[in-house]
Chains A and B, each alone.
Chain A
Amino acid sequence: MTADGALRFAPRLTLLLMAGPVIAGLAGTLRPAFEADGMARLLDWPGLARAVALSLGTGIASTLLSLAIALGLVAALQGGRLFTLILRLLSPLLAVPHAAAALGLAFLLAPSGWIARALSPWATGWTQPPDLLILNDPAGLALTAGLVLKEVPFLLLILIAALPQADAPRRLMLMASLGYGRVAGWMLSVLPAVWPQMRPAVYAVLAYSMTAVDMAIVLGPALPPTLSAQLVLWMTSPDLSIHPVAAAGALVQLGLVLAALALLRCAETGLARLGCRLALTGRRQIWADRWLAPLAAGAGLLVVLLMAGSMAGLALWSFAGPWVFPDALPQRLELDAWARAAPGLGPAALETVLLAALSAALATGLVLACLEAESRFGLKPGGGALWLLWLPLIMPQVAFLPGLAELGLRTGVEGSTGAVAAAHLVFVLPYVFLSLAAPWRAWDPRIAVAGAALGATPGRIFWRLRLPMLLRPVLTAAAVGFAVSVGQYLPTLLIGGGRVTTLTTEAVALSSGGNRRIIGTFAMLQLALPLLAFALALALPAALFRNRAGMRPGA
């Protein structure tokens, strides 16, 4: 009976563990903003206008671009062979941590990077790296590109997950039979049905893109950097007198994100109205298919190519022997960099795995308890719970993590692995829940009835029937959580107080030094860990149920 009571409490506990730190941290961060004339000093900072413009510009541009590519791919190509190919290539990219993607892209785009080397000297005439500011450009174009590479796979998968509820095939058939073009038919009949479900994801992408710190440090401009990157510089500065300025900046950053979200909300309403008016004109818009399909396919393939090139570049640099400009490839491959990096790599990798395993296991357990409580007690999560779930992903990290770190400092847990794992949990939980909820709820309820009719208790049905039957999605969700934890930069940096070093914090810290071989080793390992987790999540159920045809994917 007590176990039953604990299970009933699981959803509330989970929401508390997610929303509690966000709200407490927010209060803790913003309080000093009103002390020691932090706001006045912030307004005196000459870089403010530029930092604000960068945050808004890169965030909004990358969000709109990623959204356009994801929507274009689905609207113009879904169901076709090219779409399946692009999807299959993009899905694994979701596991690539932001920092690794940024570092890989930096290796590709830099004046001495792989693209310049591949084109030199035969096409460009360069025998030395040109003095061009391609990377860390003042307009933030490289940063925008990096953000787009990371967000397109995310939005695409969210969009595809939302499609089944939209009854897309029948709607499209109907629109086609009325003579509408494919893209117009999709935009007018399917998008309105999917949008409410992908809305929180789009908000999260916008908020994240405006405030990403690790990507901004690697790819963004330096003087001034984006507002969030500058805030982190201030927050981690040993000069304590600058902290009120950082707090004031966090308040501004929060206001900017909320304003951008409000702007997006207005744009949604406006576009919806425009769409309705467009639908009433009865124009079939067949022209859109002709240019949108190749455009979307081209953009999708470009994302795949750039990401693949980035990852390959990281790997190549980590094994590169002598490699002078403009050779396209190193003279030979060697393990020197790995040997030199090993003393740092080992402990950082261990810490990364420990944090990721802890937070992913805890999150998976909590989410399973929530979902089981939902089906056992017939609970129906309301819309409010769904938004609370997205809260940690939509609230800018720089706005609540410093307050949380301060809280950790005061209670003495700052800098401990446990505290960092708890901070990771805040971001891991939503992703694990989003990944597991749909397959868990889609389980055939007759299995439970059959079990109960055979006399099985709810506990036996959970452990012996539902959990083993759903082992693959459960492990996949755990792997998603693992990957999310591996990618965490700011929570590790701030809650760890500089004493918890992971592959991610180390790779970003090294990025300014410019030793590509060493950076390559850290980024490679950072990339390999999530892939390993996903491989395990697929291999384990496949091995366990190798003699069960009914347990194969798609069976």
Chain B
Amino acid sequence: MSGLVLDRLEVRAKGKLIVALDAVVKPGGVLTIMGPSGSGKSTALAAIIGTLGPEFSLSGRLILDGRDITGLPTRARGVGLLFQDDVLFPHLSVGGNLAFALPAALRGRKARRAAVEAALAKAGLAGFADRDPATLSGGERARVALMRTLLAEPRALLLDEPFSRLDAGLRDRIRAFVLDLIRAERIPAVLVTHQADDAEAAGGRILDPLGRPVPPGT
């Protein structure tokens, strides 16, 4: 079965339940986890990406495209991550950032360069490969970050408030760009946010970290 299954995924710290999620995210669908800061959103995110600290205990399973990824290290999960900030690598060019994400199986300088150029063109950033990421605008950086994530060919996407640092006008455009790509590439996605309009734009189920449905408009 394709898609991301959170199978009674529960995280506890010192016995206290912080995360309890039981949901299925279909390819191209978005599950939104919403709640104020301190509600366990980032713990839920760490559980899915595989960076939980030793102070947490995890139960339940994560199934991605039929494969149990619960015990796998972050790099082997096939879950792509978009941060609140773009977290571009500052020592690499824009093209270098993208090439870092390309699977090693794609061999040959020319082929890799072509893949990078194609991704940039898709994001409306043709000719940006040799640019210094520090010279890009916020919107450009956000798009490079998304393309970098997608080039690693993730089977699922995790979005950690990726729009909250963008200013209002840009925000809608980038959000639409990301959500359209998710649908087009048919990737299951989990969006973690505290903003209702992000959740509504995503269009899927909205839960709080303890798995309770959040009524629209809150």
Contacts and interface: CB of A to CB of B under 8 A. Distances in A.
16 contacts: A444-B87, A446-B83, A450-B87, A450-B89, A453-B80, A453-B152, A453-B158, A454-B148, A455-B75, A455-B76, A457-B75, A465-B89, A465-B91, A468-B91, A547-B132, A555-B90
B73 interface: yes
Contact of B79 (A447, A453, A471, A550): A453
Interface string B76-93: 110111010101111101
Given A450-B83, A452-B73, A548 B90 contact: yes
A457 B74 CA distance: 9
B177 interface: no
A276 interface: no
Interface string B83-110: 1010111110100000011010000000
A449 B85 CA distance: 13
Given A446-B83, A450-B81, A454-B148, A545 B91 contact: yes
B132 A548 contact: yes
A464 B100 contact: yes
A520 to B, nearest CB: 42
A220 B171 CA distance: 71
B104 to A, nearest CB: 9
A454 B103 CA distance: 9
Contacts of A447: 87, 89
A447 B134 CA distance: 15
Contacts of A549: 132, 134-135
A220 B79 CA distance: 67
Contacts of B149: 453-454
B54 interface: yes
Nearest to A552: B134
B67 to A, nearest CB: 15
Contact of A469 (B75, B80, B90, B103): B90
B202 interface: no
B91 A548 contact: yes
Nearest to B153: A455
Contacts of B88: 550
Contacts of A547: 93, 132
A551 interface: yes
A252 interface: no
Nearest to B157: A453
Contacts of B54: 378
A166 interface: no
Contacts of B91: 465, 468-469, 471, 545, 548, 550-551
Interface of B: 49-51, 54, 73-77, 79-81, 83, 85, 87-91, 93, 100-101, 103, 132-135, 148-149, 152, 154, 158
A456 interface: yes
Interface in A428-450: 444, 446-447, 449-450
Contact of A550 (B81, B90, B100, B148): B90
B76 to A, nearest CB: 8
B135 A453 contact: no
Contacts of A454: 75, 80, 100-101, 148-149, 152
B87 A550 contact: no
A453 B49 contact: yes
B77 to A, nearest CB: 8
Contacts of B93: 547
Contacts of A469: 89-91
Interface string A394-417: 000000000000000000000000
Contacts of A471: 91
A260 B153 CA distance: 64
B92 to A, nearest CB: 8
A468 B85 CA distance: 21
Contacts of A548: 90-91, 132, 134
Nearest to A449: B51
B81 to A, nearest CB: 4
A463 to B, nearest CB: 12
Contacts of B132: 547-550
Question: What are the 6 closest A-B residue pairs judged by CB atoms, nearest first?
Answer: A550-B90, A549-B134, A452-B74, A453-B81, A550-B134, A454-B152
Interface string A28-61: 0000000000000000000000000000000000
A452 B90 contact: no
Contacts of B134: 548-550, 555
Nearest to A550: B90
A465 B101 CA distance: 12
Interface core residue of A447, A453, A455, A555 (most chain B CB under 10 Å):
A453
B90 A449 contact: no
A548 B133 CA distance: 8
Given A454-B149, A455-B75, A449 B49 contact: yes
A551 B88 CA distance: 12
A454 B154 CA distance: 8
- Among A378, A455, A456, the one with the most B-chain Cβ atoms within 10 Å of its Cβ is A455
Contacts of A457: 75
Interface string A521-555: 00000000000000000000000010111110001
Contacts of A453: 49, 74-75, 77, 79-81, 149, 152, 154, 158
Nearest to B81: A453
Nearest to A467: B91
Residue picked from A450, A465, A545, A547, most chain B C-beta under 10 Å: A450
Q: Select the residue from B75, B88, B132, B134 with max chain A CB neighbours within 10 A.
A: B75
B80 A550 contact: no
Contacts of B154: 453
A528 B84 CA distance: 47
Contacts of A446: 83, 85, 87
A147 B100 CA distance: 51
B145 to A, nearest CB: 9
Given A449-B49, A453-B74, A453-B80, 9 more contacts: A444-B87, A447-B87, A449-B81, A451-B100, A452-B75, A454-B75, A455-B76, A455-B152, A550-B90
Nearest to A470: B91
Contact of B90 (A451, A455, A456, A551): A551
B74 A449 contact: yes
A36 B51 CA distance: 64
A555 B51 CA distance: 27
Contacts of A378: 54
